[in-house]
Chains A and B, each alone.
Chain A
Amino acid sequence: MPLASYQTSVPVVVDDAKCIADKGCTVCVDVCPLDVLRISDMTGKAYMAYDECWYCMPCEADCPTGAVTVNIPYLLR
Chain B
Amino acid sequence: MALDQIVDGLSEVSCDVLVIGGGTAGPMAALKAKLRNPKADVVLLEKANVKRSGAISMGMDGLNNAVIPGYATPEQYTKEITIANDGIVDQKAVYKYAQNCYKIVEELDSFGIRFLKNENGDFAVKKVHHIGTYVLPMPNGDTVKKALYRQLRRARILISNRYMATRLLKSGDGRVAGAISVNTRTAEILVIKAKAVVLCMGAAGRLGLPTSGYMFGTYENAANSGDGYAMAYHAGAALANLECYQINPLIKDYNGPACAYVAGPFGAFTANNEGSRFIECDYWSGQMMLEFYNELLSGKGPVFLQLKHLHEKTIEEIESTLHKVERPTRGLFQHGRGVDYRQESIEMHISEIGLCSGHSASGVFVDDNARTTVPGLYAAGDMASVPHNYMLGAFTNGSVAGTDAMEFADSHDFAHFDAADVALERERVLAPTTREDGIPPNQIEYKTRRLVNDYLQPPKVTRKYELGMRRLAEVREDMTQRMIARNAHELLRALEVQSIMDCADMAAHASLFREESRWGLYHWRTDFPEKDNENWFCHTLLSNQDGRMTSAKRAVEPYIVPIADDEKDLYDKQRVRASV
Contacts and interface: CB of A to CB of B under 8 A. Distances in A.
Interface of A: 1-3, 30-35, 38-39, 41, 49-50, 52-58, 61-62, 70-73, 75-77
B7 to A, nearest CB: 16
Chain B facing A: main interface SS:
loop
Nearest to A73: B214
B540 interface: no
Contacts, number: 99
Interface of B: 2-4, 48-49, 51-54, 57-58, 161-162, 184-185, 210, 212-218, 221-223, 253-255, 327-329, 332-333, 336-337, 437-440, 484, 489, 492-493
Given A71-B332, A73-B214, A75-B214, A56 B57 contact: yes
A76 B253 contact: yes
17 contacts: A2-B437, A31-B51, A31-B52, A32-B49, A34-B222, A35-B162, A35-B492, A53-B216, A54-B216, A56-B52, A58-B58, A61-B58, A62-B52, A75-B213, A76-B210, A76-B212, A76-B253
A31 to B, nearest CB: 4
B254 A72 contact: yes
A33 to B, nearest CB: 4
B58 A1 contact: no
Contacts of B2: 41
Contact of A72 (B185, B213, B218, B332): B332
Given A33-B57, A77-B336, A56 B221 contact: yes
A55 B216 CA distance: 9
B475 to A, nearest CB: 15
Contact of B222 (A2, A54, A72): A54
A50 B213 CA distance: 16
Nearest to A30: B49
A56 B329 contact: yes
Contact of A30 (B51, B254, B484, B493): B51
A58 B146 CA distance: 12
B52 A54 contact: no
Contacts of B4: 38
B333 A77 contact: yes
Contacts of B332: 70-72
A72 to B, nearest CB: 5
Contacts of A73: 212, 214, 216-217
A31 B54 CA distance: 11
A35 B185 contact: yes
B482 to A, nearest CB: 9
Contacts of B255: 76
B327 A52 contact: no
Given A1-B438, A56-B329, A76-B254, A33 B221 contact: yes
Contact of B48 (A1, A3, A34, A72): A34
B217 A33 contact: no
Contacts of A61: 58, 328
Interface-central residue, B52, B54, B185, B223, by most chain A CB under 10 Å: B52
B223 A33 contact: yes
B364 to A, nearest CB: 22
A31 B458 CA distance: 36
A-B CB proximity, top 4 nearest: A76-B212, A58-B52, A75-B214, A31-B52
Nearest to B333: A72
A33 B336 contact: no
Contacts of B223: 33-34, 54
Contact of B184 (A35, A55, A76): A35
Contacts of A39: 3
A70 B212 contact: no
Nearest to B255: A76
A1 B212 CA distance: 28
Contacts of B3: 38-39
B58 to A, nearest CB: 6
Nearest to A71: B332
Contacts of A55: 217, 329
A39 B1 CA distance: 12
B26 to A, nearest CB: 14
Contacts of B217: 54-55, 73, 75-76
Nearest to A69: B332
B327 A56 contact: yes
B354 to A, nearest CB: 14
Nearest to B184: A35
Contacts of B336: 72, 77
